[in-house]
Amino acid sequence: MLVALDSNIFIAALSSKEKHSLNAQKLLRDISIGKNQAIASSIVYGEVYSIHLSDRPLDLVDFFSHIDNLATIAADNNICLKTGELRLEYGHKLKLPDAMHLATALINKAELFITNDELLAKISQKLIPTKTLSQLT
């Protein structure tokens, strides 16, 4: 199964202070051992970079490259156009980074979108099967 991951999955996995950190860590381990293939928008680098220095890996490129079965997807014209469509449809309820994660999932035909953001999950579940970290067992 191809799953698309929101940046907050990686943030939760890296910071034990984050809600559902253990679920995020297990999810990334499962992806690494091949239970699923995963994609994430390349904006994960910028969003994960913004977390507290004590939680952030020194080399983010190295961190992401060591998660087997994960591909980061650059935002091409199709993803950016879809991002704009989503923002137009959902307005202020959908922040630009969230719209980009969702557009990446949709354009790449992910079968499941996983986020730790309840509001984003409510929007995304209208377009793609969605789970939050709290729903993972």
The domain ranges of the chain are 2-135
Which residues are 113's β-sheet partners? 4, 130
pLDDT of 57 reads 67
pLDDT of 59 reads 80
The mean pLDDT of 57-64, rounded to a whole number, is 81
The mean pLDDT of 53-64, rounded to a whole number, is 76
Q: Is residue 6 over pLDDT 90?
A: yes
pLDDT of 54 reads 67
pLDDT in tens, 76-96: 999 999 999 999 999 999 999
**Angle between helix 21-32 and 7-14 (nearest 10):** 110
Contacts of 28 (CB under 8 A, 6+ apart): 9, 10, 13, 67, 70
The answer to whether domain 2-135 has CATH 2.40.110.10 is: no
How does residue 61 score in pLDDT terms, banded at 50, 70 and 90? Answer: confident
Lowest mean pLDDT among 27-31, 61-65, 71-75, 127-131: 61-65
pLDDT of 52 reads 65
Closest by CA position to 75, among listed 53, 99, 100, 58 = 100
Contacts of 9 (CB under 8 A, 6+ apart): 24, 27, 28, 40, 114, 115, 116, 133
How does residue 25 score in pLDDT terms, banded at 50, 70 and 90? Answer: very high
